[in-house]
A = this chain, B = another copy of it.
Amino acid sequence: MESHKAKRVTLADVAEASGMSKAAVSMILNNKPGSRLSAEATERVRGVAKELGYRPNAAAQSLRSGKTRTLGFISDQVTVTRFASEMITGILRAAESREHTVLIAETFGKPEQMAEAIKQMAHRDVDGLILGFMDSRQRDLKIPQTGLPTVLVNGIDDSPCTAVLPNENESGAKAVRHVVESGARSVAVIGELGSAEKDPRTYPSITRRFGSLRRSLSEANLEVLGHWVLDDWNPTDGYQATTQMLSEGYKPEAIICANDRVAMGVFQALAEEGLTPGADLSVLSFDDEIIASYLRPQLSSIRLPYEEMGALAVDLLLEGSLEPGEHQIDMPLIERDSMKRN
Residues of B within 8 A of A62 (CB): 59
Residues 42 to 80 of chain A near chain B (Cβ within 8 Å): 55-60, 62-63, 68, 70, 73, 78-80
Q: When the two chains form their complex, are residues B57 and A125 in contact, meaning their CB atoms are under 8 A apart? A: yes
Contact A122 B6 (CB under 8 A): no
Separation of A316 and B294 alpha carbons in the complex (Å): 37
Q: Bits for A238-271, please: 1 = Cβ < 8 Å to B, else 0.
A: 0100000000000000000000010011001001
**What copy number does this chain have within its complex?**
2
Give every chain B residue within 8 A of A20 (Cβ-Cβ): none
Tell me which residues from 13 to 58 in chain A have a Cβ below 8 Å from any Cβ of chain B: 55-58
Is B104 in contact with A92, judged by CB distance below 8 angstroms? yes
Interface status of A215 (Cβ within 8 A of chain B)? no
- With beta carbons under 8 angstroms apart, the residue of B103, B268, B291 that contacts A102 is B103
Nearest residue (CB) in B for A81 is B290
Query: Closest Cβ of chain B: how far from A292's Cβ, in Å?
Result: 11
Collect the chain B residues with CB atoms within 8 Å of residue A151's CB.
none
Q: Are A102 and B104 in contact (CB under 8 A)?
A: yes
Which residue of chain B lies nearest to A120 when distances are taken between CB atoms in the complex?
A: B101
The stretch that binds B, out of A83-91, A135-143, A203-211, A330-338, is A83-91
| A147 interface neighbour in B6, B59, B105, B108, Cβ under 8 Å | B6
Are A80 and B88 in touch, CB under 8 angstroms?
no
A246 to chain B, nearest CB (A): 16
A4 at the interface (CB under 8 A from B): no
Asked if A123 is at the interface (CB within 8 A of a chain B CB), the reply is yes
- Interface residues in A275-320 (C-beta closer than 8 Å to B): 290-291, 294-296
Q: How far is the CB of A149 from chain B (nearest CB, A)?
A: 15
How far apart are the CA atoms of A221 and B172 in the complex, in Å? 56
With beta carbons under 8 angstroms apart, the residue of B85, B92, B120 that contacts A105 is B92
Q: Which of A81-138 contact B (CB under 8 A)?
A: 81-82, 84-86, 88-89, 92-93, 96, 101-106, 108, 119-120, 122-125
A120-B101, A294-B291 known; A89 and B60 CB under 8 Å? no
Cα distance A82–B119 in the bound complex, in angstroms: 28
**Separation in Å of the A139 CB from the closest CB of chain B?**
23
Would you give the shortest CB distance from A11 to chain B, in whole angstroms?
Answer: 13
A80: which of B58, B79, B86, B120 is its contact (CB, 8 Å)? B86
- Tell whether A234 is near chain B: CB-to-CB under 8 Å: yes
Interchain residue pairs with CB less than 8 A apart (12): A58-B124, A59-B60, A59-B68, A70-B103, A80-B85, A85-B85, A92-B104, A101-B103, A101-B105, A102-B103, A265-B296, A271-B271
The interface of chain A, by Cβ under 8 A from chain B, is 6, 55-60, 62-63, 68, 70, 73, 78-82, 84-86, 88-89, 92-93, 96, 101-106, 108, 119-120, 122-125, 147, 234-236, 239, 261, 264-265, 268, 271, 290-291, 294-296
Known: A101-B105, A102-B104. 15 other contacts (CB 8 A): A55-B119, A58-B59, A58-B123, A59-B60, A78-B88, A80-B82, A80-B86, A81-B290, A89-B106, A89-B108, A96-B105, A103-B103, A235-B294, A239-B296, A268-B296
List the 6 closest pairs (A to B, CB-CB), nearest first: A59-B62, A59-B63, A80-B82, A78-B85, A104-B104, A235-B294
